Every structure is written in C-alpha cells, then in structure tokens.
Amino acid sequence: MSSSIHPTLSLIILLLISTSCLTAVSSPLYNEEFTLCLLDLEVYLPNPKVYDQEHPNFDTLLQSSAQNLRYLMPSMPKPELLFFPQYELQVQDGVFCSKSSGIHLRVRSGGHDYEGLSYVSQIESPFLVMDMSNFRSVNVNMTEKTAWVMAGATIGEVYYRIAEKSPIHGFPAGICTSLGVGGHITGGAYGSLMRKYGLGVDNVLDARIVDADGKIHDRAGMGEDLFWAIRGGGGGSFGIMLEWKIKLVPVPSTVTVFTVTRTLEQGATKLLHRWQQVVDKLDQNLFIRVMIQVVTAGGGKAERSVRTSYNALFLGTANQLLTVMQKSFPELGLNRSDCIEMSWIQSVLYMAGYPSGTPPEVLLEGKSRFKNFFKGKSDFVRYPIPETALEGLWKRLVEEDSPLLIWISFGGMMSKISESSTPFPHRKGTIFMIQYLSLWDNASEDAAKHMDWIGRLYNYTAPYVSKFPREAYVNFRDLDLGMNKNGTSFIPPSVWGTKYYKGNFARLVQVKTKVDPDNCFRHEQSIPPLPLSLRGKGITD
Ligand SMILES: Cc1cc2nc3c(=O)[nH]c(=O)nc-3n(C[C@H](O)[C@H](O)[C@H](O)COP(=O)(O)OP(=O)(O)OC[C@H]3O[C@@H](n4cnc5c(N)ncnc54)[C@H](O)[C@@H]3O)c2cc1C
C-alpha cells in the first residue's frame, strides 16, 4: 500500500477521530476555522490560497472554469470559500480541515459538470470548493507509452503533450478539449477514438487518490475494487483524484476528417435512418457523429428547418476512407473534396470546432471556447429510430430557440468490452448515444421554458431508446433523474444509479460503503453508502 499522510495530520486525526463527515456541525466561524486549520497544519508551506466571498477576486475565480452559466445565476447558492491547493499535502489537509470545521467540500477540476455539482451545492450549506486547477502537469513516458496526468490538466493539454512527444500516439478521451481530467475520466470519457480503443477509463493503468482520511493511495494501495469504481463511477463520490496513469494508443501519421451537411430538403431524414442501421458496424477506424441543429432559412419562425451534420474522424488516409464509405455508407455521398488529411493533433482541433489553421498551442491555454446557459440530457439507442418518429422529432426541435442534438456512434471496441469491466455499462448492443441540449445566451431568458421543452422532448423519445432501465451517461449529469436528499420528491438512488451504471450500481455502493462509510464525498448524485441498518447484508435501497 502506498500511502502518505502528514504526521501532524495523523495525530490530529487520532485526537479528533469523532469528526465524521456526517456529524460535523457548522460553526459561524467555519471560514476562519478552515483557513486556520490549514495554517496550523502547514506551518512550513506558503500560505494556502483561500478566498472568501469578500475577496475582490472571488467572483472571477468562481466563474473561472464554471461551464454552465445557469449555475452562476445570483439565485444559485455560492460557496463560502474557494480553495486552490498547490501541493498534494494541501489537498490532504483540505479534506481534514473541511471536516473539522464543519464545511462541506466540493471538488472541481475542469468545471464542466452539466449540473454545476463541482461549484454549487443545492443540498449542503455551508460549502467550499477545492479547485484542482494548479495540478496540471502531464508527464509523458515514450519508453513505456504511458503518461501521468494531473487532475487539473485539461484533456487538450494531455493531447498536446502526447503529440509533442510523438505524432503517432494519442489518447481516447473527450472531444471538447477544455474538460478537466479529474472529473472527465472518472465518468467514462468518450471521444472520437472510442470505436477503436474504447473510453478513457478503458485505458487507465493506475491512479492516485486522496481518501476521506486524507491518505493518498495508488492502484496497489487502494485495491482493485476502488480502482474499478473510479473508472466510470462518476466524480465526487470516492475521493479526490490527484492523477491518472494513462496508456497511450497508436494513431497513424495521417488521419482524415470530414463534415458533410444535409438538410431536410436534401433527404436528411432518410439518411439519418440509414446512418442508424450502419453506424455501429462500420470499420472501427471510423467515428461518425451527427450534430442536429435548427436553421432559419429566411428569418421567420415558420421557415425554421433542421440541419444534420455528419462530423467524422478516420484513422487513415482519404483514399482508404473513401473505400470504407463506398462499401458501408455510400448513401452519404462522401467525395474526395469533403475529406481533409491532417495529423492526429490537428484532428483534435478540428473535431473540437477550432477554425482551420489554429495552432495546437491553443490547447495549452486550458480554457473553454464558449460558455452558455444550458440543460442537457442523454439516452442510449439500441434499435434504429423509425423515420416517422424522426419527423416528429424535427417538429419538436423547431419549437425551441437553440436546440442541439449530438448522436454519437458506438460499436467497434465499445462492443468488445464487457458491461462490468468498468462502471460504465453502455456497451454491446448500443448503436449510438444521444446528447440533448437546450442552449441560451441571455441571463434574462426564462430557464423554465427551456427546461420544460427539453423535458417534453425527452418524454417524446422514450419509446425509441433503451428501456428497463432507460440508460443515461453519468458525465452528462442530469438531476431530473433524481438526487440524494431531495426533500419531498425523493427518488431512491438505485433508480437513477441503475440508469447510469445498470448492474454495476450495487458494486459501486459496496465500494463506497467500504472506502467512505461516513459519506464524506457526497453531492446531489454521489454514490451513497449502504444505510447502517443494511450493512453486512449486501442490500441496496
Ligand atoms: C462543453 C462540454 C463538452 C463535453 N464533451 C464531452 C466529451 O466529448 N466526452 C465526454 O465523455 N464528456 C464530455 N462532456 C462531459 C464531461 O466529461 C463531464 O462534464 C466531466 O465531468 C467534466 O469533468 P471536469 O473536471 O471538467 O468537471 P468538474 O465540473 O470539475 O467535475 C465534474 C464532477 O467530477 C467531480 N470532480 C472534479 N474533479 C475531481 C477530482 N479531482 N477528484 C474527484 N472528483 C472530481 C466534481 O466534483 C463533479 O462531481 C462535456 C461537457 C461539456 C460541458
């Protein structure tokens, strides 16, 4: 077991062993207590970077990586403190001091949580945010073909550092390059290499985590159960990820990308129906997602229509791609002129939507390209959605101001990995995943209207998507599915837990009960430990 703990901290833990996460009582002086606690423990370190709400930079720092502006509205609860640890010891001490001062802890890496869970608590008060953005290093080892990547690094920084060392290696994770490695990989991490190599979590070799007692464990120290749970069980449930050891995967020196657009007038409905029939069976070097948006032809609402964009990465040359497409999906009518050959790192920028010619160094800025107000949901599809149902979908899409659906192709390696090998269970039999989004730019807009629209759309698609359970992707966090401690309308965690993890939920609860029985790491949809009355009986609620 590789475990390290500050000696002073160990002593205080022993003295205050009764300070459990569940029994901590808030004090009016918790802000000061937290900071003083850190100072006491860290006499030989520079002052910890802790900001309270009175600090002139508080708002800027809170907003720094928060991706969903809906969760920055004045009506949303604000953390009492923002804590930016710079040393591992401060992460360990932060866990201890949050407990001893009775202030609930949230952890943030890249801030992309759909429901703002890394910087807003709707169920705990007071709370503080531990922001991991100072933990950014990416150490690539080309002899081993591995890298240690810290939780606060963005996935774009990881891609850049790999490409810097080798143009023929990559890593299969998210398409959006500003995602934080800490939260992203814990939920699965799909991307355009997934049909060839699986998810980010399928390519993790080791990890280092701070547990509820402030101890650090690597894979050998934490054991295989916890190592399994953190590879898809979702962020914020089991501890604080410090870093991951990832396995690099080979990519060709030349890859090919394309984006082909079809409107309804150009036969988009039939084509999308065909895409659903072939997409999970395509050559696994080919990843095609479809972005579905509403376009306005001449200005008025009556002229709104639907546009589908087939956005793809092929691990090979344009000529090889044309052969594959001619054989498997000729209906798209892909031409040589649609295909752009480039290096893998350039394809990362292309798929992330950067303008042509953007230098890869932009990835080192570690910033998101856009922020908006949004609500998202997800589904998994096992049988092609019929054309008539697609037509009904279009009618609903044009009712909304700025809807976006992204259909993400599965199959290939995703079908070869068993449902229980990681907590991410959406594997064999899934043709594609749907990401539903309603986006808006203006704080004055009626959020309830957009939430209502997406809820109705989700009801509409129910007959056409996975059932019993209706599956969902934990990294597209959706609090409509239920949440811990939600007052009157309590939905048992097993209901939404089964949607995210299917049969793996029970094992996640067992691991949680073992490693964090006091539920120190918790949020609106964290994995709950077994209630005391059920412990030892292997029952989940
Ligand atoms: C614009 C956008 C594009 C996206 N694109 C993709 C994509 O291509 N592929 C994909 O798979 N997903 C995608 N996602 C979803 C994304 O994977 C999740 O939102 C993920 O949780 C983001 O991680 P983060 O660190 O940026 O977020 P955060 O908001 O910082 O964290 C998310 C969750 O993880 C917890 N957490 C954060 N850091 C740690 C840590 N160090 N240790 C333990 N828990 C932690 C947080 O408390 C929170 O519960 C996208 C999201 C957005 C908003």
Check residue 4 and give its pLDDT: 39
Q: What is the pLDDT of residues 146-195, one digit of tens each?
A: 999 999 999 999 999 999 999 999 999 999 999 999 999 999 999 999 99
Q: For residue 306, give the amino acid letter.
A: V
Q: What is the pLDDT of residues 23-80, one digit of tens each?
A: 444 445 677 889 899 988 887 788 889 999 999 999 999 999 999 999 999 999 999 9
Ligand 1 atom closest to Cα of 476? 15
210: pLDDT strictly greater than 50? yes
Ligand 1 atom closest to Cα of 370? 1
Per the CB < 8 A criterion, the answer to whether 254 and 318 are in contact is no
- Please tell me the distance from the alpha carbon of residue 394 to that of residue 100, in angstroms, as a whole number: 54
Q: How far is the CA of 474 from the centre of ligand 1 (A)?
A: 10
Nearest CA to ligand 1 atom 35: 235
Q: How far is the CA of 292 from the centre of ligand 1 (A)?
A: 23
Classified as helix, coil or strand, 137 is coil
Buried residues in 377-387 as b, exposed as e (16+ CB within 10 A): bbbbbbebbee
Check residue 25 and give its pLDDT: 45
Classified as helix, coil or strand, 490 is coil
Nearest CA to ligand 1 atom 53: 112
Tokens of 163: 């490409």
Residue identified by tokens 């490695």 is 181
Backbone angles phi, psi at 246, to 5 degrees: -110, 155
Q: How far is the CA of 477 from the centre of ligand 1 (A)?
A: 9
474: pLDDT strictly greater than 90? yes
20: pLDDT strictly greater than 80? no
Ligand 1 atom closest to Cα of 116? 29
Q: How far is the CA of 340 from the centre of ligand 1 (A)?
A: 30
Ligand 1 atom closest to Cα of 239? 43
Question: How many Cβ atoms from other residues are within 10 Å of residue 447's Cβ?
Answer: 16
Hey, which of 158, 176, 199, 238 would you mutate to test ligand 1's pocket, going by the most ligand atoms within 8 Å of its Cβ?
176
Q: How far is the CA of 525 from the centre of ligand 1 (A)?
A: 14
Of 537, 449, 527, nearest to 229 by C-alpha is 527
Burial of 259 (0-12, 13-18, 19+ CB in 10 A): middle
14: pLDDT strictly greater than 80? no
Of 154, 224, 221, nearest to 183 by C-alpha is 154
Q: For residue 43, give the amino acid letter.
A: V
Check residue 302 and give its pLDDT: 63
The stretch 289-296 carries a mean pLDDT of 96
Q: How far is the CA of 234 from the centre of ligand 1 (A)?
A: 9
Q: How far is the CA of 255 from the centre of ligand 1 (A)?
A: 27
Average model confidence (pLDDT) across the chain: 92
- Please tell me the distance from the alpha carbon of residue 115 to that of residue 236, in angstroms, as a whole number: 13
Classified as helix, coil or strand, 157 is helix
Ligand 1 atom closest to Cα of 199? 11
* E strand spans, 271-322: 286-296, 304-314
Residues with CB under 6 Å of ligand 1 are 67, 106-114, 117-118, 132, 151, 174-176, 179-180, 182-184, 186-191, 235-236, 240-241, 475, 523
Minimum mean pLDDT range among 40-44, 277-281, 293-297? 40-44
383: pLDDT strictly greater than 80? yes
Distance of CA 79 to the CA centre of its chain: 22
Check residue 534 and give its pLDDT: 81
Give percent of the chain above pLDDT 70.
92
Q: What is the pLDDT of residues 404-461, one digit of tens each?
A: 999 999 999 999 999 999 999 999 999 999 999 999 999 999 999 999 999 999 999 9
Q: How far is the CA of 179 from the centre of ligand 1 (A)?
A: 6
Of 63, 75, 179, 70, nearest to 129 by C-alpha is 63
Cα dihedral value 256, 259, 260, 262, nearest 10: 160
Classified as helix, coil or strand, 411 is coil
Q: How far is the CA of 112 from the centre of ligand 1 (A)?
A: 5
For the chain, first and last CA: distance in Å? 32
Give percent of the chain above pLDDT 90.
85
The stretch 332-356 carries a mean pLDDT of 98
Peptide bond into 403 cis (omega under 30): no
Hey, which of 112, 521, 525 would you mutate to test ligand 1's pocket, going by the most ligand atoms within 8 Å of its Cβ?
112
Ligand 1 atom closest to Cα of 154? 26
Q: How far is the CA of 478 from the centre of ligand 1 (A)?
A: 13
